Amino acid sequence: MTRQTEIEITAYDWVPEMAQGKVKDMRVRWALNEIGLPYRVRLVVGAGNDKSAEHLAEQPFGQVPIYIEGDISLFETGAILLHIGDKDERLLPRDEIGRARAIGWMFAALNSVEPYAQVLSIVGRTASGKDWQEEAEDAVRPLLIKRLAQLSSALGERHWLEDRFTLGDLLMMDVLRTITEPDLVSVHPNLAAYVARGEARPAFQRALAAHMEVFADA
Amino acid sequence: MTRQTEIEITAYDWVPEMAQGKVKDMRVRWALNEIGLPYRVRLVVGAGNDKSAEHLAEQPFGQVPIYIEGDISLFETGAILLHIGDKDERLLPRDEIGRARAIGWMFAALNSVEPYAQVLSIVGRTASGKDWQEEAEDAVRPLLIKRLAQLSSALGERHWLEDRFTLGDLLMMDVLRTITEPDLVSVHPNLAAYVARGEARPAFQRALAAHMEVFADA
């Protein structure tokens, strides 16, 4: 048996049902499962509650996951994934161009697609019950619709965003599958098939099962 | 004289006055100036206009900048900065932990702070002139206020987010200085001083001058 430094990640001990399956530790669990790296989970006080001083000392914004491996303590899912990706070429190609392109798609998922999904979701939440809710949602929805159409064009008939699966796909598929209005994605058959391709991966299934188990126990 | 592959970035040939000084090519110009790397700029049709098919083929979301260096063509500012950072330890520490922490702050700037500034700015823009504009802005502003307070606590009395300047600071300072309601930042004296520290850097000044020159010519 190979001896290796143990990996620990944090996850919330509870989140509302609508967020279950969608918390950011899913992305890290998924990546670790893709390369068969074992990890242990430390649960922290769940979403929506006041964060402990201890949690804020480790993670300035009170989010999950944190990633600990030996002397390394990391936060921000994107940075954690990049760190994990450099361990195994199944997640990130080793050649300079392939690696840089995959990282480009990671940032595209987090900065060119997800923010517009977040705007729609935040407007929906903060306007909830107001008489201007629908009008406000209608005003921001086109921004996401435009980005999804551009992404659909970029993906075309390929299976992955580049010529093979990378962390760029893992992040993009997870962004797409957690959009609060799934019809905006499924109107593009190639994006729907892309998300289904991600969800069919055994590593995704194992990650999701482990992620959900926490809430079943709660 | 050292021979090196020429670097080309794209920038918009025109943007509205309120966006001048704030377009994403600023971040890449700044980083290149920090390490004295020359680059040339290729102008593309400005913000708000229909993007050419050529532009969309290079950049699926029609954004700037693109970064071209020999056989490498990259998009997404975060990915471009990471690529540049790996060229010079003045931007990214070489030790594993220092590098990973700096990258963590890059993602924090782009994913834990900027999205909430974007929500406020997008809501302001899309609600402009509606009778629910103020109520909508008031509903989303607290999310950004909270993140800025957490960032202020994390920075404390230090000059930089870690023990030295890194790309994490460059991105975070640029996110802070482009927030549409500057008072939300300046209410925290340490964040105001942090932004001023960034803007005082000669590399920032050179980048800004070159960025603005495009619009002066337009």
Domains located in chain A, CATH noted:
7-90+203-212 (3.40.30.10), 96-201 (1.20.1050.10)
Amino acid residing at B126: T
Which residue, B199, B214, B169, is CA-closest to B65?
B214
Binning pLDDT at 50, 70 and 90, where does residue A4 land?
Answer: low
pLDDT digits (tens, 9 = 90+) for A74-110: 999 999 999 999 999 999 999 999 999 999 999 999 9
- For residue A136, pLDDT beyond 50: yes
- Pick the closest to residue A87 from A157, A38, A52 (CA basis): A38
Share the mean pLDDT of chain A. Answer: 94
Q: What percent of chain B has pLDDT over 70?
A: 97
End-to-end CA distance of chain B: 34
Q: Is pTM beyond 0.80 here?
A: yes
CA A102 to chain centre: 15
Provide the shortest C-alpha distance from residue A93 to chain B (in Å).
14
Q: Could you report the per-residue pLDDT of B137-161, keeping only the tens digit for each? A: 999 999 999 999 999 999 999 999 9
For residue B50, pLDDT beyond 80: no
Would you say A181 and A202 are in contact if contact means Cβ atoms under 8 Å apart? no
State how far residue A141 is from chain B, nearest Cα, in angstroms.
10
- Strand A7-12: give its sheet, edge to edge: A40-44, A7-12, A66-69, A72-75
Question: A71 and B97 in contact by Cβ < 8 A?
Answer: yes
In A9-161, which ranges are continuous DSSP H helix? 25-34, 53-58, 77-85, 96-107, 114-126, 133-155
Return the closest-CA partner of residue A10 out of A71, A76, A70: A76
CB distance B104–A63 less than 8 Å?
Answer: no
Q: What is the CA radius of gyration of chain B?
A: 18
Q: Is B168's pLDDT higher than 70?
A: yes
ipTM reported for the complex, 2 dp: 0.94
Question: Over the stretch A8-53, which tens digit does the pLDDT of each residue have?
Answer: 999 999 999 999 999 999 999 999 999 999 999 999 987 667 777 8
Q: Which residues contact residue A57 at a Cβ distance below 8 angstroms, ignoring those fewer than 6 apart?
A: none
Which residue among A82, A111, A153 sits closest to B110, beta carbon to beta carbon? A111
Q: Enumerate the residues of chain B whose CB falls inside 8 A of the CB of residue A63.
A: 112
pLDDT for the residue B52 = 78
CA torsion sign for A12, A13, A19, A22 is positive
Instruction: Give the other-Cβ count within 10 Å of B117's Cβ.
Output: 21
Q: Which of B61, B87, B113, B147 to mutate to test the interface with A (most CBs of A within 10 A)?
A: B61
- Residue bearing the bigger pLDDT, B85 or B55: B85
